[in-house]
Amino acid sequence: MRALVVDDSRAIRAMIARMLRELGYAVTQAGDGREALDVLAGSDAPELALLDWNMPVMDGYALLRELRADPRFRATRIMMVTTETEIENMQSALAAGADEYLMKPFTWDALREKLALLGLADAA
């Protein structure tokens, strides 16, 4: 299984990537939404994309909308992983096609639980 981690924090990307690798994912990383689109151009769609909301150049919400508008990513499960706690933001992301929403900071168990809900990891 392949995952894309998009976050402007290199440390957060590395932490999430390490967690996903422990679950058997091959991980690709990008520092913002525009870079993520460049990474995805010409490649197969990943099974999972984890998107930060607040990033420069192109934020996670704009990237979410771009991915959901592209039929190649219809089956990609998208999880917003963010400090955005406003219920309106959560509702907007879910309405735009996000499959799950995980609040930062989070634990390894919380990430695994969300992935299990999506059918992308075994339940703990």
Q: How many residues does the chain have?
A: 124
Per-residue confidence in pLDDT tens, the chain, 124 aa: 999 999 999 999 999 999 999 999 999 999 999 999 999 998 889 999 999 999 999 999 999 999 999 999 999 999 999 887 788 888 999 999 999 999 988 988 999 999 999 998 886 5
pLDDT digits (tens, 9 = 90+) for 99-119: 999 998 898 899 999 999 999
* Nearest residue to 16 (alpha-carbon basis) of 96, 119, 114: 114
Which helix (DSSP H) or strand (DSSP E) does residue 113 occupy?
Answer: helix 108-117
Quick one: pLDDT at residue 82? 84
pTM: 0.93
87-95 vs 60-69: helix axis angle to the nearest 10?
Answer: 20
CB 47 within 8 A of CB 2: yes
Write down the mean pLDDT value for the chain: 93
CATH numbers and ranges of domains, the chain = 2-117 (3.40.50.2300)
What DSSP string runs through 41-106?
TTSPPPSEEEE-S--SSS-HHHHHHHHHHSGGGTT-EEEEEES---HHHHHHHHHTT-SEEEESS-
- Residue bearing tokens 């995980």: 102
* Nearest residue to 30 (alpha-carbon basis) of 22, 19, 38, 42: 38
* Nearest residue to 53 (alpha-carbon basis) of 114, 14, 18, 96: 96
Quick one: pLDDT at residue 124? 59
